[in-house]
Structure 1
């Protein structure tokens, strides 16, 4: 069975998505490119679109796509408490019939905050994946502490491994893979190059082989999400190119 390839709507750029008519309008491109699914991004919704999640869910289902849902939010607040909006994000993910909700870690402090999280996940029935973001909270050390606490508490939470974000956070992606790979259930694929004292994401076949070596350290059965820029006059063709590339590698 071939591995699943998801396309992150943000890969087309916020302006392109808006000009196309929103994330719903991008779905036919993703489906025609042969992708297995789509990652819907909450930050790309207008207020009106956020109220129309059932219609979006219906469109996704009609095209035969899997869906995951990403909220631009931290799981834990600066005081270590659980994000009070988590239940809303879980409900939105359920409305979309998403396979999982993805958030960043935020300010995880200790396992005492995890019982409330357990209760919310049990009530919602939604899977949760936690991504390493580009902040200090997304560095390897806090991600390791969170992974260890989830294991001790027997929480069914896994990780999204964003291949490029480790560079923004100042960590080695390869070291992160060595420590976190067993807990990874979803991979954001991107290569990154230095740019204006930071980094910028680029398509993997425009980079050296580091991205592929890193990818080979991660679970082979984890769905792969395209999160590097997808640009060009024929978005279906360029998307298909990378769907096929990531399915084969």
Structure 2
């Protein structure tokens, strides 16, 4: 099972000033299969992309690109910035790019015509259930991807984000069953309420409100997985990776 490390895993260090480039060697040394870069962590997209692309390629890591933007804006308009994001992904050498839906239900355009403007054949596009009322609703993801298939496009899939379902209040097992036909990527994290009653991700897959092993059984076995929860250091990350691989090496 392919395991990607999303750079949010190093959130505290990112906040202290290190760059995503600083993480490439560390993620490779941990034995991860790939890295998921977050666009919001860039301070200078052009300069950092030029440095990151060869560094990641040299380490032989798979590369996914997380973009914190929507396919549709609040009024249902098709996002005119998408091609810029795809260009960045191509320059990075990304194999996947990830967005949220936005307000698909207000969209009244020609979906086939708008999607045809994007380089969908070169990079696999995935749509994530985020933490907002519309884009975080599994029904929105399902309805959008169903419409995408009817429009004749088979290269757009779902990123199933387990942890985000706690923030939006949806049952993860039901969501997994519904979205399973579209899922190509899985974001693993396990949230719970802290002492102040605020929902937050824990530092371990086995600590939280969800049974990740039960939920993941509903999802495609060939889907890539990514850790997307902050951990304190590489030792803890390594132990979580070991736990993950032990499960998939015969215990699933």
* Common fold: TM-score over 0.5: yes
Distance 1:149 1:126, change over 3 A: same
1:244 Cα offset (Å): 2.4
Q: Which runs of 5+ in 2 are unaligned?
A: 248-252
- Aligned counterpart, 2:200: 200
Residues 7, 227 of structure 1: 8 Å contact kept = yes
Pick the structure with more helix per residue. 1
CA distance in 2, matches of 1:143, 1:121: 19
Deviations 1:104-135 (A, max 9, x none): 11111257342244213347722210000000
Residues 191, 210 of structure 2: 8 Å contact kept = no
Residues 131, 165 of structure 2: 8 Å contact kept = yes
Equivalent in 85, 91, 95 of residue 95 of structure 1 = 91
CA distance in 1, matches of 2:241, 2:108: 38
Distance 1:61 1:176, change over 3 A: same
- Aligned counterpart, 2:241: 243
Distance 1:176 1:123, change over 3 A: closer
Matching of residues 51-200 of structure 1 within 5 Å:
51-109=47-105, 110=107, 112-122=109-119, 125-137=122-134, 138-155=136-153, 156-195=155-194, 196-200=196-200
With the length of structure 1 as denominator, give the TM-score of the two structures.
0.90
CA distance in 1, matches of 2:178, 2:30: 34
CA distance in 1, matches of 2:53, 2:244: 25
SS in 1 for 2:88: helix
Residues 157, 183 of structure 2: 8 Å contact kept = yes
1:170 Cα offset (Å): 1.8
Residues 9, 40 of structure 1: 8 Å contact kept = yes
Match status 1:8 vs 2:12? no
1:148 Cα offset (Å): 1.4
CA distance in 2, matches of 1:99, 1:111: 30
Distance 1:114 1:62, change over 3 A: same
Deviations 1:132-156 (A, max 9, x none): 0000122122122112112211212
With the length of structure 2 as denominator, give the TM-score of the two structures.
0.89
CA distance in 2, matches of 1:123, 1:133: 21
Across the aligned residues of Structure 1 and Structure 2, the Cα RMSD in angstroms comes to 1.9
- Aligned counterpart, 2:211: 210
Q: Which runs of 5+ in 1 are unaligned?
A: none
1:208 Cα offset (Å): 6.4
Alignment length (residue pairs): 242
1:205 Cα offset (Å): 2.3
- Aligned counterpart, 1:43: 40
Deviations 1:43-84 (A, max 9, x none): 01112x543312210000111111000011111111212111
- Aligned counterpart, 1:30: 27
